[in-house]
Chain A
């Protein structure tokens, strides 16, 4: 009896601790969404603590149209989509090559990709920005290529280790049936590594979607800015309408949160993948 009571009390204390920290994570986000549906005057009277009395979507309208958030959002979608597509194709080709094929310099080149993941380059964006300027690539294309490089090493590493664990029987069968290397890669290898590809896609999509430094250096025009740079613009232009800023932040955060809730496993694997390498 004594033992059981002690155990229950421990559990209660534990869950109180865990729940209070969990609340500190969720509350600001819920508050943000709630405030985004309020009128500014209502917000000023209760600081967003009460549920919105008569919810309005005015904040969203003005954020998307006047705040140009619609633009920024579409730009981010574009950058993310193209970059991830490039990374998936390029890294899965390379990973297949490193895992299955023989060519000169294979180990040295793979080691270079590995080393690139380990060496910290705090000023890495400086020479990339200068290079893009010299190549006249301070535009969408240049940004997408630079971002493609950012995710490449880790993606190749993840996919290569996944390939290494797969048996080669299916590929051998396809070869006997007359497939060439490229056909094997497309028809056999890619479907087999689908689970690893999902992680690569999520990880890279998140990197591009959340990238700020290079984008803020490259894009000074509204029509090219992605969401993160646009949010800073919106904030710098307008510091009075809190509810509108909350609507802008919600627009930027909600798609990611929803996607995350749907694919937690891939998100967690993707964001902790860097740790596994070390």
Chain B
């Protein structure tokens, strides 16, 4: 009786979780074997959806490529920038509070706001960014930022711009947990700044870096709203996987949407496990495994 009453404390959470998480989770797999709008009409088609997505639909590969392209820039440019900023703030100021406040504004704002604001600034009519550039004597750098040649790169950079503050905060928090005594000891032993960086900062930060990398991959491969607001998909040029899923759902092709979701989910889980495994191996080799 007592235990039943105790169970009451988690019952509301369990109910909502079962209806809106567990059931949809299983239902995704069921729907991925069906065709129709999922609501009124549905028929079993076996693996046809997966075949269609994996073999016949060239756009799915294209969407994966676009997602991977943006993810590449997020992994390299965004995270290196965040890392450099974190190192700089850690060195230049004691707490870095003001910088932290400023850099974190963009992750707080919604993807739609950022997407539309930047679209307004860079869209060729009236070309506000190009006007700014020409006023400060950089007119030669003016481009059609959302034109077919540049739009994917532009999208990647805007994505990095919106996201670096998040990585920055996590890395900075990681840096501040490294005890100052380690650096002091290294200095006494005659290590220069570069050696301290390679032998202390990087190894001790490895778990944080691995986590940031995994979360960057997960977040960027599933990015969608900002890209929709910024480019509308640009006729397929910036169509990313989740945009494809979204459009299939809107087009009443629920089976395809779910099959794509399952495939992307499996890819993401595989990639993040591989990343975590690699980071553990690296840490083992350096002898800094803590757990």
Chain A residues in the interface with B (C-beta under 8 A):
11, 14-15, 17-18, 21-22, 24-26, 28-29, 31-32, 44, 47-49, 89-91, 93-94, 96-98, 101-104, 109, 112-113, 116, 119-131, 133-134, 145-146, 148-149, 152-153, 156, 181, 185, 206, 209-210, 212-213, 217, 228, 231-232, 235, 242, 245-246, 249, 252-253, 256-257, 260-261, 264, 267-268, 271-272, 274-275, 278
Q: Is the CB of A21 within 8 A of B81?
A: yes
Query: Which of B123-151 touch A at CB < 8 Å?
Result: 126, 128, 131-132, 135
A94 CB contacts on chain B under 8 angstroms: 9-10, 12-14
CA of A192 to CA of B281, assembled, Å: 41
Stretch of B114-122, B180-188, B195-203 at the chain-chain interface: B114-122
Point out the residue from B170, B222, B262 that lies within 8 Å of A272, measured CB to CB.
Answer: B170
Report the Cα distance A212→B264, complex, angstroms.
Answer: 20
Asked whether A123 and B264 contact (CB < 8 A) given A249-B116, A278-B215, the answer is: yes
Given A121-B265, A127-B31, A246-B120, A252 and B113 touching (CB < 8 A)? yes
B268 and chain A: residue at smallest CB distance: A120
A-B contact pairs, 16 of them (CB 8 A): A14-B92, A17-B88, A25-B161, A101-B9, A102-B3, A120-B218, A121-B25, A122-B221, A126-B258, A127-B24, A128-B20, A130-B38, A149-B20, A149-B21, A242-B120, A260-B108
- Bitwise, B1-32 to A at CB < 8 A (1) or not (0) is 00111110110111011011111110110010
B229 at the interface (CB under 8 A from A): yes
The answer on a CB contact under 8 Å between A126 and B25 is no
Please tell me if the beta carbons of B215 and A275 are within 8 angstroms of each other in the complex. Answer: yes
Chain B 199-231, CB within 8 Å of chain A: the 1/0 string?
000000000000110110010011011001100
Contact B109 A253 (CB under 8 A): yes
Contact of B260 with A by CB under 8 A: yes
Interface majority SS (helix, strand, loop, mixed), chain B: helix
- Expressed in whole angstroms, the minimum distance between the Cβ of A248 and any Cβ of chain B is 9
CB within 8 Å for A275 and B170 given contacts A121-B25, A212-B110, A212-B111: yes
Given A123-B260, A217-B249, do A103 and B6 touch, yes or no (CB 8 Å)? yes
Question: Chain A interface: which of B54-62, B69-77, B94-102, B283-291?
Answer: B94-102
- Interface hub of A29, A149, A235 (most chain B Cβ within 10 A): A149
Take A98-B10, A149-B21, A152-B13 as given contacts and tell me if A181 and B108 are in contact as well, using a CB distance cutoff of 8 Å: no
With A49-B135, A123-B242, A131-B24 known, 13 other A-B pairs at CB within 8 A are A18-B85, A22-B102, A97-B7, A112-B17, A116-B17, A122-B221, A126-B261, A128-B20, A130-B38, A181-B9, A232-B112, A256-B108, A278-B211
Report B-chain residues with C-beta under 8 Å of the C-beta of A29: 105, 117
B116 touches A245 (CB 8 A): yes
Whether the Cβ atoms of A126 and B245 lie closer than 8 Å is yes
Q: CA–CA, A133 to B40, complex, Å? A: 10
A236 CA to B155 CA in the complex, in Å? 20
Docked pose: A271 CA to B107 CA in angstroms: 8
The minimal Cβ–Cβ distance linking B11 to chain A, given in whole angstroms, is 9
Name the residue in A21, A109, A252 with the highest tally of chain B Cβ atoms < 10 Å from its Cβ.
A21
Q: Is B102 touching A96 in the complex (CB atoms < 8 A)?
A: no
The answer for the CA separation of A98 and B27 in the assembled complex, in Å, is 28
The reply to whether B88 and A116 form a contact with Cβ atoms under 8 Å apart is no
Known contacts A127-B28, A134-B39: does B126 contact A25 (CB below 8 Å)? no
B246-A213 in contact (CB<8A): yes
Q: How many chain B residues have a CB neighbour from A under 8 Å?
A: 90
Q: How far is the CA of A99 from the CA of B193 in the complex (A)?
A: 46
Give CA–CA (A60, B22) in the complex, Å. Answer: 44
Known contacts: A47-B131, A210-B111. The answer to whether A21 contacts B85 by CB under 8 A is yes
B173 at the interface (CB under 8 A from A): yes
- How far in angstroms is the closest Cβ of chain A from B291? 13
Q: Pick the contact of B105 from A49, A209, A217, A257 — CB < 8 Å?
A: A257
Contacts of B100 in A (CB 8 A): 264, 268
B102 touches A25 (CB 8 A): yes
A161 to chain B minimum Cβ distance, whole angstroms, is: 16
Known A123-B262, A271-B166: A18·B135 in contact at CB below 8 Å: no
Bound form: Cα–Cα A122–B32 in Å: 13
Q: Are A93 and B132 in contact (CB under 8 A)?
A: no
Interchain nearest-CB distance for A15 vs B (Å) = 6
C-beta contact mask, B155-180 vs A, less than 8 Å → 1, else 0? 00000010001100110010000000
Chain B residues lying within 8 Å of A32, measured Cβ to Cβ, are 117
What residues on B are CB-neighbors of A113 within 8 Å? 13, 17
Residue among B9, B91, B121 facing the most chain A CB atoms (10 A cut-off): B9
The answer to whether A149 touches B99 (Cβ under 8 A) is: no
Q: Is the CB of B225 within 8 A of A212?
A: yes
